[in-house]
Amino acid sequence: ERGYERPWYVRNSWKWTFAGAWLGSNIGVLELQGNYALHHKIFSDLGISSKGIKTAKDLDDIDGLVIPGGESTTISLLLDSFDLRIPIKNFAKENPIMGTCAGLIMMSKSIKGDKKVTPLGILDIIVDRNAYGRQIMSCKEPVSFRLNKQKIEINATLIRAPKIISINDSVNVLAMIDNFPVVVMQGRHLGLSFHPELDGVTIFHEILFNPSCKFYWTNLNKVNAA
Ligand code: GLN
């Protein structure tokens, strides 16, 4: 099968002009199904431009991607009907991707006891799709964790959320609820069990997509909450 590669003239490095000015990032939000609208709101609050992604061509001029929450069975089917599966896997080789809830399921390597969803294998984790949903349909949990020694406190809204039940050694755990990871990072990729956009939580969008943030992923120390 033939992969899709971004043409040379849209690669990241070309965003630096010869005068050395940064032209700014443009981040894509996958708009096949689910809760994508509020991610654009977060980006606009942060002063980062964003656009909806529906085709492989849309990936050409973006520097990062959000796979939102929703229904992973539907997102998985639509990725194939819109021919986006291989383009997104290739995009992930050079660019950061953030997945929330169903988006985290899509980014996983495998899903416990579920054949309906074909994940992308971008994060080396195993998830149990509706583990939190069977116990509690939806809840808001206070979560506190540290980034480079600074304490961060947020609310995490879990909606029939996936539980991360296994992680590879190379996966970094940023935050946990009840001893299970709910925020994981591997290289340039970030996965969350919950919906930060529902609580106006902007820190994760900054970690991944705001190069001037002190917690930008390249500035983060190796942390492991486990
Ligand atoms: N339970 C959903 C799924 O399996 C995820 C729910 C969500 O994204 N809030 O895809």
Kind of pairing between the strands at 163-167 and 172-177: unpaired
Q: What is the pLDDT of residue 22?
A: 53
User: What is the Cβ-side half-sphere exposure of residue 216, based on CA atoms within 13 angstroms?
Assistant: 8
Determine whether the shortest distance from the Cβ of 96 to ligand 1 is under 6 A.
no
Instruction: Output the tens digit of pLDDT for each of the chain's 226 residues.
Output: 345 555 554 455 445 555 555 567 899 999 999 999 999 999 999 999 999 999 999 999 999 999 999 999 999 999 999 999 999 999 999 999 999 999 999 999 999 999 999 999 999 999 999 888 765 567 899 999 999 999 999 999 999 999 999 999 999 999 999 999 999 999 999 999 999 999 999 999 999 999 999 999 999 876 554 4
Which residues have C-beta within 8 Å of that of residue 102, sequence separation ≥ 6?
A: 34, 67, 68, 69, 70, 71, 72, 75, 162
Find the 39 Cα to ligand 1 centroid distance in Å: 16
Q: Which two three-digit tokens encode residue 169?
A: 């050694």
Q: What is the pLDDT of residue 138?
A: 77
Tell me, using a 6 A CB cutoff, whether residue 160 lines ligand 1.
Answer: yes
Ligand 1 touching residue 39 (CB < 6 A):
no
Integer Cα distance of 112 and 186 in angstroms: 20
C-alpha of residue 135 to centroid of ligand 1, in Å: 14
- Catalytic, out of 101, 189, 205, 206: 101
